Amino acid sequence: MNLFDTLTRSKRELSPIDGKTFRFYCCGPTVYGPAHIGNFRTFVMHDVFRRVLETSGMATLHVRNITDVDDKTIRDSQAAGKSLREFTTYWLEKFHADCVALNCLSPHIEPSALDHIPQQIAMIEKLIEKGNAYASDDGSVYFKVSSFPEYGKLSHLDTRELDLGKTQNQRADADEYEKDSIADFVLWKSRKDEDGENYWASPWGEGRPGWHLECSAMIKEYLGNDFDLHSGGVDLVFPHHENEIAQSRCSCGGDFAAHWFHITHLMVDGGKMSKSLGNLYTIDDLAQKGYTAMEVRYVLISGHYRKQLNFTLDSLHAAKEALQKLAKGRALLASIGGNQADCSVAVESSVFAPAWESLNQDLNTPAALGHLFSGLKASQNLKSNEAAANLAAFDDILSALGLELPVQEQEQSSDAPAEIQELAEQRWQAKQNKDWAASDQLRDQLSSAGWTIKDNPDGYELSQL
């Protein structure tokens, strides 16, 4: 696979550092409420990325963290009158249920900040020892940005007028702060009354880690000092990922991530998502409106990950129709090929090769979807053994995209013999292709065999004359 790298601003071929397993880290959810579709655009693209690697035969190690210690989780758990672990566990379980609905693979390792406090303290101690961090009078600890000359390279801040001398006496105490801030950032936050019981002992006094530190500590724990790829939403490039690089390279050495993979924002109805606008959709919100999680997944992969995708309810209608067309196309391909389950062909040699190539060229999911449809159209003229072989290739790509097709109702309800159902499928496909002559001819064949066909918006119904 060739994938765009945020650091070098170029497409680069991916290969595991150790020659065996592709090891990658994805920034996971902050569990203080339900994840929305903007969050899931990133997580679904991570899932497609992993699936494509594994479909190609590459072994993977997927690590995704859980942020359960930060300003938001502490604030909202206090307001709810619950312990931090009880509060965040509830929302973590909800996140996992949404991932299952969206057909996202579970990460191989899913560490949480709450379970890795000692590792974070140890990393701070190393940074202080090396002169990259300092403790303040109140017991907080800050990273000294000026001690790391390469700070800003990922976000390309080095191309701006970056004068650290003007800001080295400023400090950013919040876990998240303005994107144009280049002040020293917090590693350890001293205990405050509003934190309640959420504090831990440290060499600098009671307190808790800052948000940026947790990923560095867990990456060190599970992936070491050098690993293959780091990913997250584009909003994390600065300051979060920039700070991770500084912390990790200064405390541990090594090159850290060999590749940076970022997913662009999701728009809703042409604008930003907002609670006040009522467009901050969750999976449950959309289910209440009658849309399935698989339809949501289809929309989320229908745009290129490096371009803004505009999510609308109309796009969900289109996704439903597209999934039904894929299901009907697959059924026709299966009917042509019969039950030759032992037939297979390499994806690269199938009529769906352009779809597979698109996925391997910068994870171009919209192009891959387009080639799936054109491949299905081309496959209508295949011989039985060719159709069976290409069906396996189609299923491989469908699996790489993580799409599950709807069950066709007429196949469940109809008592028609297999040969009649095959004629009905062929007639339906002819109609979709606007081949009216073939459609009429197949309808006549069905009528001669004693069956009538009635079309509806989602398919057709067969009944015996």
Q: Do residue 110 and residue 217 come from a single domain? A: yes
CA neighbor of 199 nearest in space, from 74, 94, 301, 30:
74
Q: Do residue 444 and residue 342 come from a single domain? A: no
One-letter amino acid at 244 equals E
Cα 22 to Cα 16: distance, rounded to the nearest angstrom? 5
Q: Do residue 359 and residue 444 come from a single domain? A: no
Query: According to the model, what pLDDT value does residue 378 have?
Result: 87
Q: Do residue 316 and residue 425 come from a single domain? A: no
Q: Which domain holds residue 299?
A: 268-401
Query: According to the model, what pLDDT value does residue 458 have?
Result: 61
Residue ending a domain, among 401, 421, 443, is 401
Residue ending a domain, among 236, 263, 290, is 263
Q: Do residue 137 and residue 18 come from a single domain? A: yes
Distances (CA, A) of 448 to 318, 416, 438, 465: 35, 14, 15, 10
Q: Do residue 273 and residue 191 come from a single domain? A: no
Residue ending a domain, among 362, 384, 401, is 401
Q: Which two tokens stand for residue 194?
A: 């509003």
Q: Do residue 33 and residue 147 come from a single domain? A: yes
Query: According to the model, what pLDDT value does residue 341 have?
Result: 52
Query: According to the model, what pLDDT value does residue 409 have?
Result: 52
Q: Do residue 337 and residue 201 come from a single domain? A: no
**Could you list the mean pLDDT of each consecutive 10-residue stretch along the chain, which spans 465 residues?**
97 97 98 96 98 97 97 96 97 97 98 97 98 94 94 78 50 64 85 94 96 96 97 95 96 95 94 78 95 97 97 95 93 73 73 96 98 90 80 93 82 66 84 81 84 75 79
Residue with tokens 């060999």: 258
